[in-house]
Structure 1
Amino acid sequence: MAVTAFHWTNFLIRLVVAFVLVFATYNPSGHSWVHWFIESTNKLDPLIILSAVILFIGWAIYLRATARSLGLFGSLLVVALFGSLIWAMIFYGWLSLDNPSVLGYVALALLSLLLAVGISWSHIRRRITGQIDVDDVETDI
């Protein structure tokens, strides 16, 4: 039987996994898969390829779930919300364009948040509205 309860801890777990996925793929610190691949002399190192496949699987899961739950319009709304949030942070001086790595960290954190909301949206929507999303319906014919 499926677990129907969805709590903040469930969302936080999805958010932490999204952060690991996004920041393991790329981050401004120089310690990421992209940097590892670029700096590697052997681009066909089995560990580089294995980690790329693992990251690709993670991205496929998160992007597919986000696309199915939020859709294009919902994803654009979230991106617009986050874009206006970054704009407000810059406008009011909370975020400076002088240090691009800080802006990069904020953008990557917001991307992680988008993925976490996307993979959790069906649960959140059910809690807010009481409506259930059904992707696959099996019928006994």
Structure 2
Amino acid sequence: MGFIMRWLCAFLLLAVTFNPTEYNYVNWVRDFGGMNMSIAVLLGLLLAIGYIIYLRATLRSIGGFGMLLVLAVVAAALWVLYDLGVLRLDNSSMNVWLALAALSFVLGIGLSWSHMRRALSGQADMDDVDQ
């Protein structure tokens, strides 16, 4: 259940920032940000904090190569679904949602990796601490 919550929070972070509907931060700032600059800056900073938390945890746990590997696995799975005829890529809106799901999966794996590794191997990850 923990992974699902981390994945959904990553998806929400990405979808709030940008999605194919008109209800997202990017469109709101473009249309109304000039009139509400203080709110735009506040929301932008809150989104930046969310990205920093997810990206830092992901880079520390699986690294850049791990991120590329997870993204490659997701892309290969989408390719299989496309080849089997389950997935069609002619809908640009659906493609954006698929990209958001794929990126949020990478961030969810990154934030959950220490928990999954400990459950699979019994070994805990520790940060190097200078004392």
- What TM-score comes out, normalization by structure 1 length? 0.85
SS at match of 2:90: coil
**Matched position secondary structure for 1:94:** coil
Match of 1:93 in 2: 85
Note if contact 2:33-2:40 (Cα within 8 Å) is conserved in structure 1. Answer: no
Structure 1 gaps of 5+ residues are 1-8
- For 1:97-136, list aligned pairs within 5 A: 97-136=89-128
Aligned residue for 1:3? none
Greater shift after overlay, 89-98 or 27-36? Answer: 89-98
Number of the residue aligned with 1:64: 56
Partner of 2:74: 82
Cα-Cα RMSD: 1.6
1:30 is aligned to: 22
Structure 1 runs (4+) deviating above 6 angstroms are none
Determine what percentage of the aligned residue pairs are the same residue.
42
What amino acid is the match of 1:53?
L
Bigger relative CO (Cα 8 Å, ≥ 6 apart): 2
CA separation in 1, counterparts of 2:15 and 2:35? 21
Distance apart, 1:138 and its partner CA = 5.2
CA distance in 2, matches of 1:138, 1:41: 44
Q: How far 1:28 sits from its partner (Å)? A: 0.9
Query: What is the alpha-carbon distance in structure 1 between the residues aligned to residue 81 and residue 30 of structure 2?
Result: 32
Structure 2 length normalisation: TM-score?
Answer: 0.91
1:6 aligns with: none
Gaps of 5+ in 2: none
If each structure's helix is expressed as a fraction of its own residues, which one has the higher value?
2
Question: Would you say how many aligned residue pairs link Structure 1 and Structure 2?
Answer: 131
